[in-house]
A and B are shown apart, each in its own frame.
Chain A
Amino acid sequence: MINIAVLKPIASAISRELFHSITLLLLLSFFVFFLLYNAPGDEVFQRYLESHSELNSYDSHNLFYIYFIWLSACVTGNFGTSMVNGLPVLGQIIENLGNSILLIFHALLISVPFVIINIAMGFKNNFKLISTTVSVILSILAVVPIFWLSYVAIYITSTRFDYLPVGISPESLSYLEMLLPVALLSIGSGVLIHITQHTKSELFRVLKEDYVLYARAKGAKVYKHVLKEGIIFPMLHLMSHQVAYLFSTCIIIEQIFNWPGIGRLLWQATQDRDIPLLLGAVLATAFTIRLTQFLSKLTYIILNPRASHE
């Protein structure tokens, strides 16, 4: 099945995407740096320059010059040292980023079987009511503010089920302990219900296509033909878009569950006005999100024979 003729457009599409992502990240980093440069008063930017080991000696106010030096420092891994505790920023970020990615990845992971079961139930006449009820309940839970919902969930589970997941550390982790934050992250942020609705509507659109009629006329099983375009692609597409929103919600969840992730780091850095740590965390977040989007675009290009022809 692997043909040179098929590989070439895929490779060119992938390289186009790579170029696009790198430009995007550069643009973002410039924007962030620009914001810092324009901070009110001179002090903020000056203090940042002094706390950065490579930018220490630069006192000039030429934006692009400093930006390039800062960028080269970032690429080599030097994000400066935190103003609060003097430790290098990169090390702190990496520990915490992994923990957040754990949460987010699992939140997206549990949405896959959930969506498929929900949609499959929606087709069987006997189970339609269950599917609708579950969707309605989840929609209501998605609108409730997540910072309140988490407290209620903790209250209920700790008093009824004697289960208190607060204050756990990701090293010694079991799936049961991770259950509550992950469930709240996917349900309370509305991501679960959004993916369900979007996939369902795309599925219905695909079911009206001509080739599905032909598949039925052939006697083939419809779900095999509809799976790719109706379920996998929309879910992939939407999940890559929702990662950014999940990061936002993750900040609140980590705050409540005392989870050492990048959300809590961001909050701490903003609280203390610790600019190097904040900058590094923001850039790391943007990088992770862009990486996820790039990977999903990659999968899309490989699986979809039409994408590489456009």
Chain B
Amino acid sequence: MSKINIPRWNHKFMSLIENVKIIGIRNSIYLSYSSIIILVLIFGYFVSYFEYLPFDPEDLDLDYILSPPLTDGHILGTDYLGRDTFSRLILGIEAYLVPSIVAVIIAIFWGIITAVASIFTHKRVTRTLSMINDSILAMPKLVLLFLVIAIFDPNIFYIMIVIGISNIPSVAQLLTAKIDLLKERSFIDSAIASGISYHSIILKHILWSNCRVILFSQSAFIMGEAILMEASLSYLGFGVQEPTPSWGNMVQSGSNYLLQGDLWSSTIPALAIMLVLSAFYLLSYTVSRVLERRH
């Protein structure tokens, strides 16, 4: 058997093949898959932003209802009204990409504040914060979203704010657990004692060097979850309304026809959701595995 000489991570720039050897084949495949899909997603977002689509997504073409892919220039087929699936798919990216990023930012930001506040303040504050966290965790996300939709508008930004808020407790709990471990190593106390400013301790020593793995992987995870929530809501009819396309919307409109045998109209957006979701989840999983091993 040949000896595999695995290089160590040093701080210089390493070639791709050396990186692959360190991370391992399986993780590299996951990471490349995730990055390709995310890049395609971002590219598609810009394409839809500039409306550079092959077909007008609202163009009804009643000669070609529910056609499978590759008929007459429709790369992915058409839906029950004859609209081109591919263009609607690209346009549907707009419905969730930016709002999901908003949700992630809210969750991470407030999660950090909650975790850090519960470490550095009085015990009563910690208990109150953990009580609030527990109460958010006791509510299913979709149920909370229904409440907000019924009382307020079904506006996508409200929805994403609620998704962000409902993910704060999980981020906060992970961060608190990690910071508690650090606390046990008297790391924080010695840093305070040697006069480093609180600002610098929190940002540099705790968050960036120790918690960044959690933050990265959690952002990817929450992004995936936000996309799934938006798709589910559109499927149930509460998110983006017709005729604006959203991937959940498209699955719903094709679902009745699925039971009759015309499966392309519903399957293609579902597969798209699956690819994007799996990309984010794999990214979160692989990042946490690869970067944790480094220590």
Contacts and interface: CB of A to CB of B under 8 A. Distances in A.
A148 B255 contact: yes
A24 B135 contact: yes
Contacts of B144: 282
Interface stretch (B5-13, B91-99, B274-282): B274-282
B148 interface: yes
Contact of A147 (B146, B150, B232, B259): B232
B131 A147 contact: no
Given A23-B131, A155-B258, A28 B266 contact: no
A69 B255 CA distance: 45
Majority secondary structure of chain B interface residues (helix, strand, loop or mixed): helix
Contacts of A158: 259
Interface string B256-293: 00110101001100100110011001000000000000
Given A285-B143, A286-B138, A145 B258 contact: no
Given A145-B270, A151-B258, A270-B238, A289 B138 contact: yes
Interface stretch (A56-64, A173-181, A240-248, A301-309): A240-248
B228 A275 contact: no
Contact of A32 (B147, B251, B267, B281): B147
Interface string A103-141: 000000000000000000000000000000000000010
Interface string B131-160: 110110111111110111111110000000
Q: Which interface residue of A151, A247, A255 has the most chain B CB atoms within 10 A?
A: A151
A269 interface: yes
A143 B144 CA distance: 22
Interface residues of A, number: 49
A23 to B, nearest CB: 6
A148 B270 contact: yes
B192 interface: no
A36 B151 contact: yes
Q: How large is the interface on B (under 10, 10 to 19, 20 to 34, 35 or more residues)?
A: 35 or more
A290 B142 CA distance: 16
Given A145-B251, A148-B266, A251-B236, A270 B146 contact: yes
Nearest to A290: B138
Given A145-B251, A252-B236, A269-B150, A244 B138 contact: yes
A220 interface: no
B131 A244 contact: no
Grouping DSSP codes into helix (H, G, I), strand (E, B) and loop, the A interface class, with mixed when no group exceeds half, is helix
A152 interface: yes
B231 interface: yes
B166 to A, nearest CB: 10
A282 B232 contact: no
Contacts of B258: 148, 151-152, 155
B251 A20 contact: no
Contacts of B153: 40
Given A267-B146, A273-B150, A148 B281 contact: no
Contacts of A244: 137-141
Nearest to B149: A270
Interface of A: 20, 23-24, 27-28, 31-32, 35-36, 39-40, 44, 140, 143-145, 147-149, 151-152, 154-155, 158, 241, 244-245, 247-248, 251-252, 255, 266-267, 269-271, 273-275, 278-279, 281-282, 285-286, 289-290, 293
Interface of B: 131-132, 134-135, 137-144, 146-153, 228, 231-232, 235-238, 248, 251-252, 255, 258-259, 261, 263, 266-267, 270, 273-274, 277-278, 281
20 contacts: A27-B135, A35-B148, A44-B151, A145-B251, A145-B277, A147-B255, A148-B273, A151-B255, A154-B259, A158-B259, A244-B137, A248-B141, A252-B235, A255-B236, A266-B146, A267-B236, A270-B146, A270-B238, A282-B144, A285-B143
